[in-house]
Amino acid sequence: MKKILLSLCALAGAFAASAEARPDLVAQVRAGTCAEARASWWGFDPADATAPLQAALTSGVARLVVDKMPSPWIVTPLKGASNLELILEPGAEIQAKPGEFRSKGACLLSFLCCTNVHIVGYGAALRMRHEDYMKPPYEKSEWRHALSILSCRNVCIEGLTLADSGGDGIYLGCRGAVHRNVDVVIRDVLCDRNHRQGISVISAENLLIENTVMRETFGTPPAAGIDFEPNHPSEVLKNCVMRNCLAVHNQGAGYTTWAGQLNSSSEPIDIRFENCTAFGDRSAFNFSTDNRRGRNVRATLSLSNCSFEKPIHARAVNIRENPSSATSVTSVNCRIVTTNAVGEEVVTPMNETWQKIHLPLSSGGTPPIPHLGTPDLARAQVFDDAPGTSVKLAPLRARNIATYVVYANAARTLHFKGHQTHVGRYEPGNKPIVVTDAKGKKLKKIPLPEFKETAFTFDAPAPGFYRLSVDVGRVAFCLTEADAPVAVDATEHQQGFIGSVGSFWLAVPPKTEQFALYASGEGGECAHVFLTDPQGICVWDRDNVSSWERAVVSNNPPPGLWKVTTKRPSQGVFEDVHFDVAGIPGFLFLSPGKTWSCR
C-alpha cells in the first residue's frame, strides 16, 4: 500500500508543476506517505516565493523537485535541511529578491551542520544580484554567498550554475565546534561572475571538485577562481582533489591556497590538482603559508597535467613565504603558456618540486633574474651622513609584518620612533617588537606602539647589524624616525605596504650586471610606481599597477642608490602594494643618508 501511495504522489506531482498550492499533497508529505514532492505544492508567488519554498525545504521530504515555473523563484535567504535530495528542474532558477540581502552575511541558500545533502541542477541556477551589492544602500561585504555549506557531511552538488553572488558561488566553511566539512563532491558546476571567489574552501576533508568551471570572478580580493584558505589552526584541507577544472578570466588567481592562519599544530595540507587549466586569470596558481612567522605549516600540493595559460601578469605561478622544508609543491607534465613582447607563444614546462619560488616561471621571453637571498652583512660597507643623529624616515606603512635591519656604529643606545596605523576596523596588534642580533639571539622585547607616534630604544652591545621584527596582525606599522641606518628586509620574501605615498631606496653594488624590481597591487587595488636611477633619471614609470609588473635594468647599471616611489594611481583603489627585488640584495632603505652596500 505504501508503494502505491508513493506512486500516486509522484503522479500527482507530474500534473502540479504550474497549478495552485496543493495542501492535500503537502498533508501526505507531513504524514510521511510521500517521499518525493514538488516545491509548487506549497504554492508559488512570482513576486516573493520565499515562504512556500522555505516550507518545502524543511518539510522533511526525502526528494524535493523545484519546478521550472514561468518566472524565477524570487526569494530572501533560504535554509536547507539534512537528508534531502534537492532537484532543480532544467530551466528552474532560484533568484535573490531585489532590495533584500542587506545583511553582510545574507546567503541565498545555506546548509548548517547538515548531513546527506544532494543538490542536482543541470540547466538550473542559483542567481543573485552582484552589481546591486557593489553600491549603496548595500554595505561593502564579501560574504553574500550563493550557496553556503557550513560544517556539513556527505554533500554532493551537481550540474548547478551559481552566479552573480555578493560573495562566493560556493562557500565551504565552518560553524561551532565542527571544524570541517567531510565527504563533499562538487561536479559539473559553473561558478559565474561572483564577487569574491567562484569557490572558497575554508575547511574540508575528502573533497572532490571535478568538471567545474570558475569564471569572471570580480569585485573584492582575492577574486580567485577557487581559494583554499583556512581561518583557524583547527581547520583542515585534507585529501582535497580538483580534477578536470577550468578557471578563466578571473580578476585574481585561477587557483590559490593561503595557509597563513595554520601553524605547527594544524593537520598537514593535502591538495591535488589533476588536468586543471587556468586561462587569462591575473595569475594562474598561488600558494603561500606564513612560515616566515615560524608557524611551520606542513603541506603537500601536487599538480599533474595542468596548463596555466595567458596570465595577465608575468608571474603565472607564485609560491612564497614558505621556507619550511616540510612544505612543497610538485608538478608533473604541467606547463605555462605566455606571449612574449613580439606576440609569440612561449611554453615553459613544469616538472619540478619547490619549497618556494620568487621568480616568474615565464616572463615574456626575458630570462628570469635570480634572487640573491640574505647576503653576508659582515662584509657590508656602511654609509651614514650623521652617525647617531636621528632622521625622519620614509612614511611607508608595512602591512601585517615586517623585519627592519639596523646598523649600530658602536656599542650604544639606538633611538627610534614609530606607530601602528589603522586598517579598517581591525584592532591594534599587541605583540612586542623583538630585537635580535646577527646570530638570531633575542636581546629585547619592546612594547608595541599603538596608533600614536612613540619613541623607543634598545642597547646594542657591540657594533654590527640587528633586526627588529614587527607583527601587528591585520593593521600596519610605520617606523618614522631612527638615528642609525635602517632598511626593511625583503631579501627572502616580498614586502607589502598599504596606502603609502613615499620612497625607499635600493643599493645597487658595483659590478652588478642586471637587477629587477617587481611591483603589484592586489585585486582592484593599484599604485603608481616609479624607479629613478642615481642621477635622478626616471627609468620606469607605471601607473595603475594592479598585477605583478617588473622593471628590468640591464647592461651594468650604475652603482649607487636607486629610488622607488609610490603614489596614488589615476584609477582604482590605493591600498595594498607589494614589492620584490632580484639581482641585488633586497634591502629597502628608508633614508638615503643612512644605508649600506653588499653583495
| CA end-to-end distance (rounded Å), the chain | 88
d(CA 397, CA 382): 25
pTM for this model (two decimals): 0.68
pLDDT in tens, 75-115: 999 999 999 999 999 999 999 999 999 999 999 999 999 99
Q: Which of helix, strand or coil describes residue 502?
A: strand
204 occurs within a structural domain: no
Same domain, 356 and 418: no
- Report the DSSP pairing between strands 63-66 and 84-88: parallel
DSSP annotation of 525 reads B
- 349 and 407 assigned to the same domain: no
Residues 311 and 454 in one domain: no
CA atoms 425, 428, 429, 434: torsion sign: positive
What lies within 8 Å, CB to CB, of 389 at 6+ separation is 483
- Residue 20 falls inside a structural domain: yes
Is residue 460 classed as helix, strand or coil in its secondary structure?
strand
Residue 224 covered by a domain: no
* CA-based radius of gyration for the chain: 28
Q: What is the CATH number of the domain that holds 388?
A: 2.60.120.380
> Same domain for 449 and 556?
yes
Q: How many domains does the chain have?
A: 3
Asked if residues 497 and 566 have their Cβ atoms less than 8 Å apart, the reply is yes
Q: 2-14 and 23-31 helices cross at what angle (nearest 10)? A: 150
Same domain, 329 and 388: no
Domain boundary residue among 75, 97, 119? Answer: 75
576 and 451 housed in the same domain: yes
For 189-225, how does the pLDDT look when each residue is reduced to its tens digit (9 = 90+)?
999 999 999 999 999 999 999 999 999 999 988 899 9
Give me the residue label for grid cell 584609477: 571
> Domain for residue 324, yes or no?
yes
DSSP of 352-401, one letter per residue? -EES-B-S-S--TTPPP-----S--GGGPEEEESSTT--EE-----EEEE
Is the separation of the CB atoms in 50 and 97 below 8 Å? yes
Together in a domain, 486 and 540: yes
Are 452 and 501 in the same domain? yes
Q: Which of 42, 75, 108 is the last residue of a domain?
A: 75
**Shared-domain flag, residues 355 and 390:** no
User: Pairing state of beta strands 464-482 and 391-392?
Assistant: antiparallel
With respect to residue 343, please indicate whether it lies within any of the assigned structural domains: yes
- Residue ending a domain, among 337, 365, 393, is 365
Q: Do residues 343 and 390 share a domain?
A: no
Going residue by residue through the chain, which has 599 residues, state the pLDDT in tens, using 9 for 90 and above. 344 334 435 444 444 444 489 999 999 999 999 999 999 999 999 999 999 999 999 999 999 999 999 999 999 999 999 999 999 999 999 999 999 999 999 999 999 999 999 999 999 999 999 999 999 999 888 899 999 999 999 999 999 999 999 999 999 999 877 789 999 999 999 999 999 999 999 999 999 999 999 999 999 888 999 999 999 999 999 999 999 999 999 998 999 998 888 888 999 999 999 999 999 998 899 888 866 555 688 899 999 999 999 887 656 887 766 655 677 888 899 998 877 666 677 787 887 766 555 434 333 444 567 777 788 898 899 999 999 999 999 999 998 889 999 999 999 999 999 999 998 888 898 899 999 998 889 999 999 998 999 999 999 999 999 999 999 888 999 999 999 999 999 887 778 899 999 999 999 999 999 999 988 887 568 899 999 999 999 999 999 887 778 899 998 999 999 999 999 999 888 888 989 898 999 999 999 999 999 87
Q: Does residue 42 sit in helix, strand or coil?
A: helix
237 within a domain of the structure (yes/no): no
Query: Are residues 355 and 448 both part of a single domain?
Result: no
Tell me the C-alpha to C-alpha distance, in Å, between residue 403 and each of 478, 493, 497: 12, 11, 13
Q: Is residue 34 part of a domain?
A: yes
Strand, coil or helix: 544: strand
Q: Is residue 482 part of a domain?
A: yes
Tell me if 57 sits within 8 A of 80, measured CB to CB: yes
List the domain range (segments joined by +) for residue 345.
Answer: 260-365
Query: Are 468 and 502 members of one domain?
Result: yes
C-alpha angle 189-195-199 in degrees, rounded to nearest 5 = 35
